Amino acid sequence: MTEVRPETVTARSMGTSLDRVDGAEKVTGQAAYAADQHPAETPGRPLSLWLVQSTVARGRVLTIDDTAALDHPGVVAVIDHTSAPRLVDVSNGELAILQDDRIGFRGQIVALVLAESVEAAREGARLVEVVEEPQEFEAELREDNATYRPEKVNPAKETDTETGDVDAGLAEAEILVEATYRTAYEHNSPMEPHATTAWWGRDEDGAETLTLFDSTQGVHGVANALAPMLGVEKHQVRVMAPYVGGGFGSKGEAHAHVMATVLAARVASGRPVRLAVTRQQMFDLTGYRTATISHFRLGARADGTLTAIEHEAQEQTSRLREFAEQTASPTRMMYAAPHRRTSHRLAVLDVAVPSWMRAPGEMPGMFAHEVAMDELAQACRLDPIELRRRNEPAVDPETGLPFDSRRLMDCFDRGADRFGWTPGPRRPGTRRDGEWWVGTGVASATYPAMRMPGNVARVGSLGEGRYRVSIGAVDIGTGARTVLTQIAADALGVEASCIDLRIADTALPMATVAGGSSGTSSWGSTIVAAAQRFRADHGAEPAAGLRAEASAVRGDEAERFSFHSFGAVFAEVRVHRYTGELRVPRLLGVYNVGRVINPRTARSQFLGGLVMGLSAALFEESMRDPRFGHVVTRDLATYHVASHADVQGVEAEWLDDETPTFTPMGSRGIGEIGIVGTAAAVANAAHDATGVRIREIPVTADRFVR
C-alpha cells in the first residue's frame, strides 16, 4: 500500500451544487435498499425473519415451545438459544444473541422465526411460547445510581479532567451559576428502518462466504464486527449498502438484528434471509441516546469573565455492553477559564445498549452548557453574545494548541446581522404579540473535526478521460456519493461527469464509518491521495486499464493545531400565554466549518441538524417505564418528531472558509454540528419570551402554564 500525503486540491467542482448523482434512482424508485434485495445467484427466494423478544427486563428463558409455530404451514424453522449456531467470540454482549438463556433487557431477541413469507414469520413468532423466569432488575437512571466511573468515554476520551483548581476558581467568582440540566432519552428514528438481507455460500475454493445487504453507515465495520464472532476471516464476509435511508448514528455499528439475520441464514441452506426491523422494534434494540443529567457550576467575575467551569455528567449504560456518552467533552474546549473540571458517571442498567445519535456528547452537553451561559449572561446583565465574546479562548483550553480556524464570533456577528438581533441584556417577559409571548435566544455550536486513519482508495483509468474511483464508503443520504465524485474530479482535474464512483461494498478498499462527521474528510482525503498517486504514476493522459491505490497520511498538523468547527444558532420563540404552546417561527444557524464542498447537500445537512435540534427541544422523548423496563413510546405517533407544521423559518448559512491544514479539500465535516446548541437556543428564547427558565428538554407546554 502506498501512503501519500495529499496536496491541497484546487476547487473546480467543489463549491458548486452538483445535483445528487443518485438523485434520479431515488426519486424514481429504482434505488434498491437492504430489504429490497433479491439476489439472483442464491438458491431460492428470500426467506423472511421475525424476532421473538423477551417480555421481562432481566431473567432467564426457561422453556421455548415451538410446536404451534412449526405447525404453521409457512414456518420453516424456529431458532432459540438451544439451537442457534454457536459464536466463537461472545465478548460483545449486544451482538452475541441466542448463545445462552440469559435475558439482559426487555425486548431482547430470545428466538427467531424463519418463514416463506413475512406474514407467516410474524404469525409464527406469535405462536412461539416462551416461558421466562424474571429476576430483579434496574432500568431507571437517577442521580443516586449513576455512580459508576467508566474507563473512557466515547470515542476513547478521558472520563474525568481537571485543570487548575476549580474550588479556588469558584471561590473567587463574583457571580455563580449552579444548576442541573436534563436531556431526554431519544431514539434516532431514521426514515428507513434497519434491515438486512443475508446468505451463506461457498467461493470457488470451497471456502464459506457470507454476503449481506445491510442498512449500515459502514460496510467494513459490519464485516469487522461479524467475522471474528462467526469464526471466519473478514474477506469471507461481504457487506453491501448501496442505499441507506438515514442512520443518525443508529446504523454506525451493527446491532443484534444483523447477527439474528446472519444466524438464521446459517440454517437456511444458502437461501437468503431478510429481516426488516419494524419501527416499534427500533425502539427496543437498534440504539438510542441515553438521557443525561448535567450538573453545572460556572464561576465568573462581574464582567462575565469565567473563573471556573465545572460539568459533572450522569447518564446510563447497559449491563450487556458499555457505552459512555462524552457529554462533558465540549465543556473542555469551548470557553476560556483558568479552572475547569469535567466528569462522567454512569448508571449500569438492565436496558438495551445506548449508542451514537447525531452529535453524541456535544448535543446533550452543549444544551446544558449553553443554557448555563444564558443564565450567566442574565446574572451579569450582559448580552449573551457579548458574554461569549468575553470568554473566547486564545488557544484550545483542553490541549493548549491553537485552533486552526475558530471563527465563532464571526458566526455570531453575521448571524446577529442576518437575524436582526437586538444587542444588550435580555429583558425576559417583556414582548407580547396578542396572545403570544415573544423572545429570542442564542447558543453556540461546536463539533470536532475528525479524520479517521486506515482508509484506502483506488483510481483506475477507463480511457477517453474517464476514471473509476473506488472506496468502501457509504452514502446514508447525506450526499457523500455526490461530494466524493466532486472531490475525485477536482483531484484528477476532470469534469465530475468523467468520474465513475464505486462505494458501499467491502469488495472495495477499506473505508471507515459514515460517522463523527468524518466521512467526507477521511474518504475524500484518501481519494485525493489515490488520485495524486495515479497522476504521479501514469500522467495526465493515461491509457485505459491503469491503476493506483493509496492511503492518505497526515503530517504533524494534529500536534500543531486543534481542529473544531463552530456555529452560532439564533431562535425566535413564541409561547402562548394561555396554553403554553411553543412555536419557533425562526431558526438560523451560521457555521464555520471549512470549505463547503456542495452547497446544496451541505445546506440540507445543516437544515436537517437544525430541525433535529428543534425536534429535540420541543418533542423528542422516549418514555421508559422503570417498573417494566421497556420503552413505552414505541412508534412515531407517541415518540414525536418535528413535522412540517412545526418547522417554520429555518435557515442555514456558512462563512467563506477553507482549512487546507485539515484536509486537502479544505473541508472539515458538517453532518452533526447543526443539532448542537439548537435546543439551547430554543430554551433560551423561551426564557426570554416568558421569564421561565427551562433546564430540561423537551420543553413542553405544561412548563409555562401556571
- Contacting positions for ligand MOS (CB under 6 A): 217, 247, 249, 252, 356-358, 360, 515-516
Going by DSSP bridges, is the β-strand pair 59-65/129-134 parallel, antiparallel, or unpaired? antiparallel
Amino acid at 177: V
Q: Kind of pairing, strands 208-214 and 237-240?
A: parallel
- Contact between 241 and 214 (Cβ < 8 Å): yes
Q: Specify the residue, 150 or 515, whose C-beta has the smaller distance to ligand MOS.
A: 515
**H helical segments located in 552-677:** 557-560, 599-618
Residue with cell 423528542: 620
Residue 217 and residue 185 in contact, taking contact as beta carbons nearer than 8 Å: no
**Rounded Cα gap, residues 253 and 228, in angstroms:** 15
| Least spacing, CB of residue 597 vs ligand MOS, in Å | 18
What cell was used for 640? 414525536
Q: What SS3 state is found at 299? A: strand
Helical H segments across 471-518, by residue range: 480-492
Closest approach of ligand MOS to the CB of residue 219, in Å: 14
Query: What's the min distance (Å) between Cβ of 83 and ligand MOS?
Result: 35
413 membership: H or E segment, kind and range: helix 408-419
Of 204, 295, 214, 223, nearest to 257 (Cα)?
214
Interatomic CA distance for residues 190 and 608, integer angstroms: 12
Q: Sheet holding 432-433: strands in order across?
A: 432-433, 436-448, 564-576, 582-592, 649-654
For residues 545-582, one letter each, b for 16 or more C-beta atoms within 10 angstroms of the residue's C-beta and e for the rest, the string is ebbbbbbbeeeeeeeebbbbbbbbbbbbbbbbbeebeb
The CB-of-664 to ligand MOS minimum distance in angstroms stands at: 22
Residue in the shown chain whose Cβ atom is closest to ligand MOS: 249
Dig out the grid coordinates for 20 from the structure: 445528487
CB 507 within 8 A of CB 274: no
Q: Smaller CB distance to ligand MOS: residue 514 or 531? A: 514
Cell 471466519: give the residue: 232
Separation between Cα atoms, residue 107 and residue 57, nearest integer Å: 8
Beta carbon of residue 243, minimum distance to ligand MOS (angstroms, whole number)? 17
Return the C-alpha torsion angle 489, 493, 497, 501, nearest 10: -30
* Closest CB to ligand MOS among residues 289, 458: 289
With CA atoms as reference, report the closest residue to 652 among 694, 614, 622: 614
Least distance from C-beta 605 to ligand MOS, angstroms?
12
Residues sharing a CB contact under 8 Å with residue 206, sequence separation 6 or more, in sequence order: none
Comparing CA positions, the residue from 93, 95, 101, 96 lying closest to residue 64 is 101
Closest CA to 348 of 290, 407, 413, 303: 290
Separation of alpha carbons 488 and 530, rounded Å: 9
With H, G, I as helix, E, B as strand and everything else as coil, classify residue 534.
helix
Phi then psi for residue 349, to 5 deg, are -120, 165
Torsion of CA 696, 698, 700, 704, to 10 degrees: 30
Least Cβ distance, residue 644 to ligand MOS (angstroms): 24
Sheet with 208-214: list strands edge to edge.
Answer: 75-80, 109-115, 47-53, 273-276, 195-202, 208-214, 237-240
Q: Where are the beta strands (DSSP E) in 190-259?
A: 195-202, 208-214, 237-240
What is the CA 112 to chain-centroid distance, rounded? Answer: 29
Active site residues: 672
Question: CA 93 to CA 278: how far, in whole Å?
Answer: 22
Q: How far is the CB of 609 from ligand MOS (least distance, A)?
A: 11
- 382: amino acid identity, one letter: L
Cβ 321 to ligand MOS shortest distance, Å? 17
Collapsing DSSP to helix, strand or coil, 330 comes out as: helix
Cell of 5: 500525503
Grid coordinates representing 21?
448523482
CB-CB neighbours of 238 under 10 Å = 17
Residue 329 corresponds to which amino acid?
S
CB of 250 to ligand MOS, least distance (A): 8
DSSP code string of 334-395:
SS--SEEEEEEEEEEESSPPP---SSTTHHHHHHHHHHHHHHHHHHTT--HHHHHHHT--SS
